[in-house]
Amino acid sequence: MKNRFQTTAENILDHARWAPSGDNMQTWRFEIVDTHCFIVHGYDTRDHCVYDLEGHASQLAIGALLESIAIAASAFKCRAEFQLDENALETKPTINVQLIEDKNIEQDPLFLYLPKRSVQRRMLKTTPLSLKDKSKLEQSVGNFYNIKWIEGWRARLQAAFLMYKNGRLRLILPEAFPTHSTIIEWNSRFSDDKIPDQAVGLDMVAMRMMRWAMKSWKRVSFLNTFLAGTLLPRIELDLLPGIACAAHFSLVAEKEPRTMEDYLNAGRAVQRFWLTSTMLGLQLQPEMTPLIFSGYIKNKVEFTKTQKIHDYAVDLSKVFKRLMGGEAVIDKAVFVGRIGYGKPAKARSLRLSLEQLEYKR
């Protein structure tokens, strides 16, 4: 593998930084200790992001980063060993990484897909997944996770309607506005640290409406009250893509995740699943918010001051539970999304450079 940087650590991190994170927040910074040792300084966004109030979304992303490091290390004839710093704050997962050289290590076939893997938020083909592809995807997550598939027209339609209703929750929730109004880079096909508007999945008219609305909560509220403002985005972002895919899926852990380590490991499995789907020519979009809000309801996490919205989320969590196959499944679910054959997205999030990701005390 070509060395762009002086240290093996930097060369590996340069590939691993393509790991996915909620809203492309890249909740990590890197401290190089020496050529074969570095520290991942992770953090969560619970202080400002309503989708991360327990830190789990960030922990999954950091787990995906660790798996990316392990995969990238194989291309540099190294094995990565991870040590979670037990004294670190819960909001700041800190992981010491040691790279052990090993001439016999073969490059992981997923390595080439690290920078290619990306979200596709637009409609996909409805062609069912082949048995071969399903089996490869099921194998990719290892022994401690299962995939629950939601397939067939009827089930996809149910999932799409759930996402459509869930879209309303996201758009009428005042607590989500600070996130929605800051994560989109307007008039862009690419963005280093946000989501470019062209990757969101809206057409020009809906996009203009959203751009106008996102200037203030007053505007969003006006649109929602008088012009059925949530309708068009929900049809384009949730309903149609929810129908137009091969399947929805849920990654279900063997045991209910409880600790930070459980979520980091789950993130590792997510990344293997996502990279494998890219290798198989499949496109994927996470659909995490029903799972996130169901978790809040279950754990009594206060995510809104508006009682009506809370009650709406309670109703949605019941529908979600039914769709997923009951409480036993939902408690162990760590990741939800849709998947299907189709072209990769033309617009996508990029990443901060290694220099920009350097840890500063």
Ligand X SMILES: Cc1cc2nc3c(=O)[nH]c(=O)nc-3n(C[C@H](O)[C@H](O)[C@H](O)COP(=O)(O)O)c2cc1C
The contact set with ligand X (CB under 6 A) reads 20-24, 57, 60-61, 64, 118-119, 121, 195, 285-289, 348-349
Helix axes 153-172, 289-299, angle to 10 degrees: 70
Choice between 16 and 99, CB closer to ligand X: 16
| Closest distance to ligand X from the beta carbon of 85 (Å) | 21
Q: Say which residues have a Cβ less than 8 Å from residue 107's Cβ, sequence separation at least 6.
A: 1, 74, 75
| Closest distance to ligand X from the beta carbon of 36 (Å) | 27
Distance CA 310, CA 80 (A): 43
Choice between 8 and 28, CB closer to ligand X: 28
Distance CA 135, CA 132 (A): 5
Choice between 21 and 230, CB closer to ligand X: 21
| Closest distance to ligand X from the beta carbon of 340 (Å) | 14
Element (H, E) at 83: strand 78-84
Choice between 11 and 285, CB closer to ligand X: 285
Amino acid symbol at 265: N
State the pairing for strand pair 282-286/333-341.
antiparallel
Distance CA 163, CA 229 (A): 16
Choice between 10 and 23, CB closer to ligand X: 23
| Closest distance to ligand X from the beta carbon of 26 (Å) | 8
Neighbour-count burial of 269, counting CB atoms closer than 10 A to its CB (0-12 exposed, 13-18 middle, 19+ buried) = buried
| Closest distance to ligand X from the beta carbon of 146 (Å) | 19
Choice between 78 and 124, CB closer to ligand X: 124
| Closest distance to ligand X from the beta carbon of 64 (Å) | 6
- Helical segments of 76-195, H only: 131-140, 153-172, 177-180
Choice between 277 and 304, CB closer to ligand X: 277
| Closest distance to ligand X from the beta carbon of 287 (Å) | 6
Q: Say which residues have a Cβ less than 8 Å from residue 218's Cβ, sequence separation at least 6.
A: none
Distance CA 353, CA 8 (A): 16
Q: Give the residue nearest to ligand X (CB).
A: 20
